[in-house]
Structure 1
Amino acid sequence: MSFFNHLKVDYTAGNQKDWTGRKTVLENQYWYQNITVSNIENENFDAEINIGLIGYSCDEGVRRNQGRIGARKGPASVRNKLGKIPIHFNNKNIVDFGDIICFDDHLEDCQKALSKSISKLISNKVLPIAIGGGHDIAYANFSGIKDALKDSTKNNIGIINFDAHFDLRTVETLPNSGTPFNQILSEYKEASYFAIGIQQQSNTKELFEIADKNNVSYVSNLECETFTESLKNKLTSFIKKADYLYITIDLDGFSSAFATGVSAPSPLGFSPNFVYKTLEFLFESKKVVSCDIAELNPDFDIDNNTAGLAAKLVDFIVLNA
């Protein structure tokens, strides 16, 4: 019986041909030489796997949210850039588990399929790094975390979202890329939410009211020029209350100087250096249980710079995990 039985979703296992880079006679110089591939349906985890990559090839949530579609191409674009990056980590077995692909408009089934995959990875002590796809990936990732921890007495999950948007819209008709954190907070009372990089001009007054009503912690993009002592103190307080951390990075939170290839670009976002410094601090907690990168849209990328940024974020996460 298929792992994705009864779900209207497509799946392609990891493929070594997706990983290419500079030819060299030396071993373990680049990502493409170090990565292995597998099928999430058949993987029995006989060998220790430290990190699992899985693509969420879906932009149905973005379409429903009236955004610029194209994010379904994100995972392939990231692999193309990631394979060429030199490696500076040791003794980490990283496996590419391929892509979960949205079939027609069946967003909810695609989310369920990713959720099952995330749960399986965490249950086998593997850190998932999911690559989207729209930010509806967050609801799927969180659902997988929740399922993996359902028998744990420690189930306080803190969400750290690097983003220009709260993504706290209420579900009026169908869920979309703007509703994931409203869905999470409505369904799971043990969750807490900290948004980093919120832009006033990208969120309505209603969204700020929803954030306040749900005790959402946030800092504006104006507070994200550098990793300040003030932000460190706020995050320290947030982390102390959480048993686990889930980190999600929406690429539209970056300034469009660094990330043009997104659904909603803005010149007012944060820098890669700021995110690196913040990620480094978050991983020092040893509480990170899952990560994802969302909203890469190759159709609007320039010179694949945004894909390169996403790939380097994956590499930085692996270095610090």
Structure 2
Amino acid sequence: MEFFKNLKVDYTTGNKNNYSGRSSKLPNQYWHQEIKVSSIEKLKIPNTIDIGLIGYACDEGVQRNQGRIGARKGPKSIRTKLGKLPIHFKNKNITDFGDIICVDTNLEDCQKALSKSISTLIKNHVLPIAIGGGHDIALANFNGIKDAIKNTSKNNIGIINFDAHFDVRKVDTQGNSGTPFYQILKENDTARYFAIGIQQQSNTKELFEIAAAYNVSYVSNFDCESFGEDLKNKLTTFIDQVDYIYITIDLDGFSSAFAPGVSAPSALGFSPNFVYQVLTFLFQSKKVISCDIAELNPNFDIDSATAGLAAKLVDFMVLNS
């Protein structure tokens, strides 16, 4: 693995066998018919790929954060559901670049490997959609974006996080799934952060204070009953102040009625319909540079409902990109 030289990670290339579904004599009907697979090491310029999926099979960050482990199984579960979905987009080449796999407790190396992959995709004009994995995926994705645009005049990255948690815990000894945005904001003066769906009962007073100290914009879960003009205006102001938008979706921000298969489920979360409306609005800005979906835990999923939701979110992103 020359691409991941000096990093303690495992890597598996994209595998068509991860996708299956109803057979059809007609082309362009289901994801499993159209998805292509490759290796991140084989990406060449120029390419004809529009969107690249990359898995982040890691739950070391969740374990460090005293959460329920199992998120490393998320990418496989998402692909299983994704292959069965019908497709309604045209002329989009979507390629699965496989999984970066955390080895033992080497979270930081796994993050560096994903960052390098994200950067490579963006530099090749491919929209990355990373599927995790714990929410420590966010630090990796952000750093990949940062590396990809470092030689450009535009470097203001706006983070939109759909989540019940701020994830701005201070780093004690090691980063984890609860610290990514603290790490980002502390190290990057130009980064801006907007959290959607924050639940008071899921964040301590200290976390609200840290968010305020770093000028984090947010709306609570009670503001997510519908996508109204107030939130649209706040997002418009935020979008106007940044050059690029990085979208990250923590599945525990959804109500547990829709997403039971997460480390920290809550009945008080938002609905898929709300997120779909906001995603449509964000993609219309033409500033979205990378996306990810985090915290699917198949160990606690019910009838693969959460995996199905995650797969439909990927499909929706592709449709609107």
Instruction: Give the TM-score taking structure 1 as reference length.
Output: 0.99
CA distance in 1, matches of 2:301, 2:45: 36
SS at match of 1:74: helix
What are the within-5 Å matches in structure 2 for residues 18-97 of structure 1? 18-97=18-97
Distance in 2, Cα, partners of 1:217 & 1:136: 20
Q: Which whole-Å CA distance do the structure 2 matches of 1:147 and 1:240 have between them?
A: 22
Q: Deviations over 1:149-183 (max 9, x none)?
A: 00011000000000000000000011000000000
Identity, % of aligned pairs? 75
1:47: how far off? Answer: 3.0
1:308 aligns with 2:304: no
1:210 maps to which residue? 210
Which stretches of structure 1, 4 residues or longer, exceed 4 Å deviation after superposition? Answer: none
Q: In the TM superposition, what are the counterparts of 1:274-293 in structure 2 within 5 Å? A: 274-293=274-293
CA distance in 2, matches of 1:151, 1:280: 29
What is the aligned residue count?
321
- 1:45 Cα shift? 4.2
TM-superposed CA distance for 1:213, in Å, is 0.4
Look up the match of 1:260.
260
Secondary structure (helix, strand or coil) at the match of 2:143 reads helix
Partner SS, residue 41 of structure 1: helix
Does 2:91 align with 1:113? no
Which residue identity is paired with 2:63?
R
The residue that corresponds to 1:148 in the other structure is 148
* Cα distance change on mapping 1:45 and 1:96 into 2, 3 Å: farther
Per the TM alignment, residue 46 of structure 1 is displaced from its structure 2 partner at its CA by: 3.9
- Cα offset for 1:226? 0.4
Cα root mean square deviation, aligned: 0.6
One-letter amino acid matched to 2:13: A
**Gaps in structure 2 of 5+ consecutive residues:** none
Checking the alignment, whether the CA contact within 8 Å between 2:136 and 2:176 is kept in structure 1 is: yes
Corresponding residue for residue 239 of structure 1: 239
SS of equivalent to 2:309: helix
Once residues 152 and 159 of structure 1 are traced to their aligned partners in structure 2, the CA distance between those partners, rounded to angstroms, is 19
- Residue identity matched to 1:63: Q
Alignment-mate amino acid for residue 65 of structure 2: N
Q: Corresponding residue for 1:17? A: 17
TM-score by length of 2: 0.99
Aligned residue number for residue 100 of structure 1: 100
Letter in 2 for 1:104: D
For the residue of structure 1 that corresponds to 2:87, the secondary structure is coil
| Distance of 2:11 and 2:33 partners within structure 1 | 24
Gaps (5+ residues) in structure 1?
Answer: none
Hey, what does 1:171 align to over in structure 2? 171
